Amino acid sequence: EALGQSIVVDNKPGAGGMIGLQAGAKAAPDGYTIHFSALTNQVISQALFKNPPADLRKDYAPVALVGTVPHLIVVNPGVPAKNLPELIAFIKSKKGDFNYASQGNGSLSHLESALFMQRIGATGTHIPYKGSSFALPDLIAGNTLMMFDSLTASLPHIQSGKLRPIAIASSERSPLLPNVPTLEQDGFKQFDVENLFAIYAPKGTSPAVVARLEREIRKILTNPDFKNKLANQGIQTQFANSEKLTEITIAEHAKWSKAVKAANIKID
């Protein structure tokens, strides 16, 4: 409504977000195509892939940070573990004979799982999917044991009893799942993740267009009804302007590049 334009969402899943990142980077810099970025996912992919097709730092004009979505560990209710210590003990008892799911190679979900398995000394088989919508049915069916997934994707299945939440991988509990502790609260220190989302325009987009988009996004994110709708899906609105988003993007690249090296993960 604010822009007086129809908006079409063109989902481009796969390759840890690299397919969508490349598509947005190649778009005409006229303000009519913008990239809604899973920022944390895409900087991880940037560090993981040998020849990433695009780069948020070089191929885009940052517009605005819009929010964060917590990730959490979810398991099939058939898994006997009810909390994190029990899950770790159960995983170790499997002696590597188990599958765990992720949202795809190079995703935050993948890196969280790799770091988690590394920390607990387990070596299960990683099964990458093309996003949560493909991974969750197999998890629900018991074909995989566990997954780090976004709260927004898992919540309906948690509420229906098809999945069991174990712990939140962020610094605070979610008000939607107040009884689910963070990993740190369950004894797993230094494993909180801010899963950031932001909007970028292709490099070369007019500064006036970027400023207009930034201004309208700020207004939308302060709308109480809009904030409540997102909160009910587990999304916390968090605005930062174009200048601040530039700093955040650079800092996230540095942070997750170190994490990727620590996990010793490489993807061709």
**DSSP 8-state secondary structure symbol assigned to residue 107:** S
Q: 3-state SS string over 9-53?
A: CCCCCCHHHHHHHHHHHHCCCCCCCCEEECHHHHHHHHHHECCCC
The more confident residue out of 111 and 99 is 99
Tokens 């200048």, residue located: 243
Residues 2-51 pLDDT 10s: 899 999 999 988 777 889 999 999 999 999 999 999 999 889 888 888 88
pLDDT of 268 = 60
Q: 230 exposed, middle or buried (CB, 10 Å; 0-12, 13-18, 19+)?
A: middle
pLDDT of 78 = 94
Residues 193-251 pLDDT 10s: 888 999 999 999 999 999 999 999 999 999 999 999 999 888 899 999 999 999 999 99
- If you average pLDDT over residues 133-160, what whole number do you get? 96
Q: Which amino acid is at 54?
A: A
Task: Evaluate whether 226 touches 62 at the Cβ level (below 8 Å).
Answer: no
pLDDT of 164 = 98
- If you average pLDDT over residues 70-87, what whole number do you get? 96
Residue 264 has pLDDT above 80, yes or no: no
Of 29-33, 53-57, 65-69, 254-258, which range is least confident?
Answer: 254-258
Task: Evaluate whether 163 touches 136 at the Cβ level (below 8 Å).
Answer: yes
Q: What is the average pLDDT score of the chain?
A: 92
pLDDT of 234 = 86
Task: Evaluate whether 257 touches 47 at the Cβ level (below 8 Å).
Answer: yes
Percentage of the chain exceeding pLDDT 70? 99
